[in-house]
């Protein structure tokens, strides 16, 4: 079997790997590392999340860095803050015995002043999200003209998130002669364009998906009506007392609605998606990692780069259209040699998709049944009884207290007392009114609903990432919406305000004013997102609005005042490529 010592890595790097529990290289590492160590030329690695890509480019990068140089030699671009942090943390661990090599991560949602201070120190490697990197470059806080290595990680996701123009701009800032390594799960046309325009005869390596080597995942599916999806997930959560899982949804608004509904039903759950501010996302992740939550509801993009140990379940609220997304999702569980369950909650119309996944990913799905209410009750009672102390473990109660309790219980028979205790436990399951069996049987037909207990979506219902935590009231929110859209306050109704976000309805004929007036809005450096579906804002120009936040605002912040409504266009370069960026971007061979 190939080991790391056969891949051309230095002793300083090899010494750190066993201490990190890294023993045998993955397929992408076996194929990429020898080439990247020996040949300073362009490279394309096609591999899924979970295949070890960070070490595949990180270890050769550390070996090729000139420790004596004081400028930024390598730039790694990643789509999300979480992935940036994960990459930079892993590089630091790999470089344990390379003390002169320093790296730092810069990303949106964090204090830019602190990041500017960090960049003034010696950093040979910078890991960045595209948007924040452009902001720092425009402020002259980072120089990219001496970059020797450029790594594009999760390149397809950066394009899916709307970073196409940002990538072109960043590439124009970098020197013509450099080495570019691109890692991606897929090769859409835009990736091919980047390869053609910015890379010089790259070597391409493609490896199998991450799930192909993880046999510890049990792939399952249940078939229910769309309106019963939430109930199905609840029942699995009820029968698995020690469950810790992620529920994946297609869109941000689905994630937030499902989280709200489950939370109202008494489940420890919160949502993670792109419409939350970074501080809100951090708070959710801290709670989840510290076992303050049983379930996390997330979109595919929001979950990129998140590494949480001991996940027992991954739920697919709907099967993703791209098989790579199924690989990314299910790969969140069964890590570190542990076992896990990937469970797709589907309708009869989606059964064929299960077959496609089995064929494409070479995995087998097991059809399982949603527990009935009787099953849930029996499992809950069994779990409860297991927690009752055994004879001899019961602490003695003082005679005075015992006497008072005994007198109160004399009015019950033993059977009545047991029934009362059991009834108290069953009330916590919130099963009142639920059908015993919600599995969808062949031949049954149900009405089409939206998967949230049959609640229709009028199309005029909007989400905004402003809530009580921002010090806003319903009237503050209506004032803000009216000012920004130019609509009357009467055009807004049904305000529902939660801690981190709110919902509102808008008059049907006025929806265009909402869709057109909130794209790219910033208040006090924070992105404000208002949307009906997965296509949130953020891909276009930013608009900065002054004032005092959402509450206690003075008239000077109003649209008529004009002074605090500043629009910001692109960078000063206007996206034009300078003389350095006209040709292929490859560094001369040493």
Residue 565 lies in a domain: no
Share of the chain above pLDDT 70, in %: 79
| Residue 575 within a domain | no
- Name the helix (H) or strand (E) containing 75: strand 74-77
Q: What is the pLDDT of residue 411?
A: 81
Q: How many angstroms separate the CA atoms of 286 and 295, rounded?
A: 13
Instruction: Confirm whether 324 is domain-assigned.
Output: yes
Q: What mean pLDDT do residues 408-412 have?
A: 80
Over residues 126-130, the mean pLDDT reads: 97
Confidence category of residue 148, pLDDT binned at 50, 70, 90: very high
For 540-555, write each residue's pLDDT tens digit.
455 555 555 555 443 3
Has residue 441 been placed in a domain? no
Measured distance CA(345)–CA(296) in Å, rounded: 16
Average pLDDT value for residue range 80-85? 88
Number of structural domains (the chain) is: 4
**Which of 331, 354, 372 is the endpoint of a domain?**
372
**104 phi, psi to nearest 5 deg:** -145, 155
In this structure, is residue 392 part of a structural domain?
yes
- Residues 435-459, mean pLDDT to the nearest whole number: 56
Q: Return the minimum-mean-pLDDT range out of 104-113, 430-439, 480-489.
A: 430-439
Domain end position, chosen among 326, 343, 372: 372
Alpha carbon distance 345, 297 (integer Å): 14
Pair 224, 345 in one domain: yes
Contact 377, 431 (CB under 8 A): yes
Q: Is the pLDDT of residue 535 over 60?
A: no
Same domain, 333 and 398: no
Q: Is residue 304 helix, strand or coil?
A: coil
Q: Strand, helix or coil at 381?
A: helix
Task: Show Cβ contacts of residue 356 under 8 Å, excluding neighbours closer than 6 positions.
Answer: 323
Q: In this predicted structure, which of 78-92, 157-171, 327-341 has the lowest mean pLDDT?
A: 327-341
Long-range contacts for 240-245 (Cβ within 8 Å, ≥24 apart)?
240/312, 240/313, 241/383, 242/312, 243/294, 243/295, 243/312, 243/313, 244/291, 244/294, 244/295, 244/310, 244/311, 244/312, 244/313, 245/294, 245/295, 245/296, 245/311, 245/312, 245/313, 245/314, 245/315, 245/333
Whether residues 171 and 258 share a domain: the answer is no
**Predicted pLDDT at 430:** 62
- Structure-token pair, residue 177: 């002669």
Residues 187 and 296 occupy one common structural domain: no
Average pLDDT score, the chain: 81
Q: What are the backbone dihedrals phi and psi of residue 320, each rounded to the nearest 5 degrees, phi first?
A: -70, 155
Whether 477 and 330 map to the same domain: the answer is no
* Of 519, 523, 548, 511, nearest in space to 536 by CA: 519
| Same domain? 300 vs 391 | no
Report CA-CA distances (Å) from 356 to 223, 323, 489.
Answer: 16, 9, 49
Q: 38 and 167: one domain? A: yes
Query: What does the alpha-carbon distance between residue 42 and residue 63 come to, in Å, rounded to a whole number?
Result: 16
Q: How far is CA 104 from CA 94, 122, 221, 434, in A?
A: 14, 10, 42, 52
% of the chain beyond a pLDDT of 90:
38
Please tell me the predicted confidence (pLDDT) of residue 435: 83
| CATH number for 223 | 3.40.50.300
pLDDT band at 119 (very low <50, low <70, confident <90, very high): very high
Q: Is residue 579 part of a domain?
A: no
The answer, yes or no, to whether residue 515 has pLDDT greater than 80, is no
Strand spans (E) along 234-381: 245-249, 269-272, 295-299, 313-316, 340-346, 365-367
Dihedral of alpha carbons 85, 87, 88, 91, sign:
positive
Mean pLDDT of 6-14: 95
Amino acid 211: pLDDT: 42
Q: Are residues 498 and 530 in the same domain?
A: yes
> What pLDDT score does 400 carry?
66
What is the pLDDT confidence band of residue 100, given thresholds at 50, 70 and 90? very high
In angstroms, what is the C-alpha Rg of the chain? 27
Q: What is the mean pLDDT of residues 452-472?
A: 67
Question: Quick check: is 578 in a domain?
Answer: no
pLDDT for 256 beyond 60: yes
Residues 113 and 160 in one domain: yes
pLDDT band at 399 (very low <50, low <70, confident <90, very high): low
pLDDT tens for each residue of 264-309: 988 999 999 878 887 888 889 889 988 889 999 998 877 776 778 7
The pLDDT value given to residue 565? 34
Q: Residue 359: count other Cβ atoms within 10 Å of its Cβ.
A: 10
pLDDT at residue number 260 = 94
Same-domain pairing of 42 and 169 = yes
Judged on CB neighbours under 10 Å (0-12, 13-18, 19+), 514 is buried
Query: Which carries the bigger pLDDT value, residue 268 or residue 21?
Result: 268
Regarding predicted confidence, which is higher, 370 or 398? 370
* pLDDT beyond 70 at 90: yes
Q: How confident is the model at residue 590 (pLDDT cuts 50, 70, 90)?
A: very low
> What average pLDDT does this structure show over 449-470?
62
- Check residues 259 and 460 and name the one with the higher pLDDT: 259
Of the three residues 173, 207, 241, the one that is the final residue of a domain is 207
**Which of 151-165, 222-236, 285-299, 437-451 has the weakest average pLDDT?**
437-451
Strands 565-567, 543-545: pairing kind: antiparallel
| pLDDT tens-digit series, residues 471-511 | 788 888 888 888 888 888 888 887 888 878 888 888 777 88
Q: Are residues 317 and 355 in the same domain?
A: yes
586 within some domain: no
CATH number of the domain enclosing 491: 3.30.70.330
Domain that holds residue 153: 4-207
C-alpha 355, offset from chain centre: 27
- Do 151 and 258 belong to one domain? no
* Residues 518 and 537: beta-carbon distance below 8 Å: yes
pLDDT of amino acid 537:
39
Instruction: State the Cα–Cα distance between residues 72 and 128, nearest whole angstrom.
Output: 12
């Amino acid at each position: 079997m190939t080991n790391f010592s056969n891949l051309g890595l230095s002793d300083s790097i090899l010494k750190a790997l066993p201490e990190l529990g890294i023993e045998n290289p993955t397929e992408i590492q076996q194929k990429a590392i020898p080439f990247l160590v020996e040949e300073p030329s362009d490279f394309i690695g096609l591999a899924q999340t979970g295949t070890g890509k960070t070490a595949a480019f990180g270890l050769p990068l550390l070996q090729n860095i000139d420790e004596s140089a004081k400028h930024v030699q390598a730039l790694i671009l990643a789509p999300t803050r979480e992935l940036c942090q994960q990459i930079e943390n892993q590089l630091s661990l790999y470089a344990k015995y390379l003390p002169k090599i320093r790296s730092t991560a810069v990303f949106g949602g964090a204090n830019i002043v602190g990041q500017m201070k960090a960049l003034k120190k010696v950093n040979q490697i910078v890991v960045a999200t595209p948007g924040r990197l452009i902001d720092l470059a425009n402020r002259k806080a980072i120089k990219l003209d001496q970059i020797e290595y450029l790594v594009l990680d999760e390149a397809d996701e950066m394009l899916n998130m709307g970073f196409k123009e940002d990538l072109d701009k960043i590439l124009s800032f970098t020197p013509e002669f450099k080495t570019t390594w691109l890692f991606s799960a897929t090769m859409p046309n835009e990736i091919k364009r980047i390869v053609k325009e910015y890379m010089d005869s790259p070597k391409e390596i493609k490896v199998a998906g991450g799930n192909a080597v993880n046999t510890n995942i049990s792939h399952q599916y249940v078939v229910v009506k769309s309106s019963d999806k939430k109930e199905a997930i609840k029942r699995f959560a009820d029968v698995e007392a020690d469950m810790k899982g992620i529920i994946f949804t297609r869109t941000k608004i689905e994630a937030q609605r499902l989280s709200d509904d489950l939370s109202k039903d008494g489940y420890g759950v919160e949502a993670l998606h792109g419409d939350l501010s970074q501080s809100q996302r951090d708070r959710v992740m801290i709670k989840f990692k510290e076992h303050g939550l049983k379930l996390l509801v997330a979109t595919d993009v929001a979950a990129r780069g998140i590494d949480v140990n001991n996940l027992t379940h991954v739920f697919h609220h709907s099967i993703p259209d791209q098989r790579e997304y199924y690989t990314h999702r299910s790969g969140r569980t069964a890590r570190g040699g542990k076992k896990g369950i990937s469970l797709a909650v589907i309708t009869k119309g989606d059964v064929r998709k299960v077959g496609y996944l089995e064929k494409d990913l070479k995995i087998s799905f097991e059809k399982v049944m949603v527990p009935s209410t009787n099953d849930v009750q029996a499992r809950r009672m069994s779990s409860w009884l297991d927690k009752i102390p055994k004879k001899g473990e019961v602490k003695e109660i003082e005679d005075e207290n015992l006497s008072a309790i005994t007198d109160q219980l004399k009015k019950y028979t033993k059977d009545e007392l047991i029934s009362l205790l059991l009834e108290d436990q069953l009330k916590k399951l919130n099963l009142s009114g639920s059908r015993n069996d919600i599995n969808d049987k062949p031949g049954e037909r149900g009405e089409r609903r939206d998967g949230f207990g049959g609640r229709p979506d009028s199309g005029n219902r909007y989400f905004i990432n402003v809530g009580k935590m921002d010090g806003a009231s319903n009237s503050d929110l209506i004032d803000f919406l009216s000012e920004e859209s130019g609509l009357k306050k009467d055009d807004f109704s049904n305000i529902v305000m939660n801690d981190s976000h709110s919902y509102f309805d808008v008059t049907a004929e006025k929806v265009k004013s909402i869709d057109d007036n909130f794209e790219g809005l910033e208040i006090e450096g924070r992105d404000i997102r208002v949307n009906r579906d997965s296509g949130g804002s953020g891909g276009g120009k930013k608009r900065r609005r002054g004032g005092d936040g959402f509450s206690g605002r003075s008239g000077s912040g109003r649209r008529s005042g004009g002074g605090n409504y500043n629009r910001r266009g692109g960078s000063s370069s206007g996206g034009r490529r300078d003389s350095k960026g006209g040709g292929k971007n490859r560094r001369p061979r040493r």
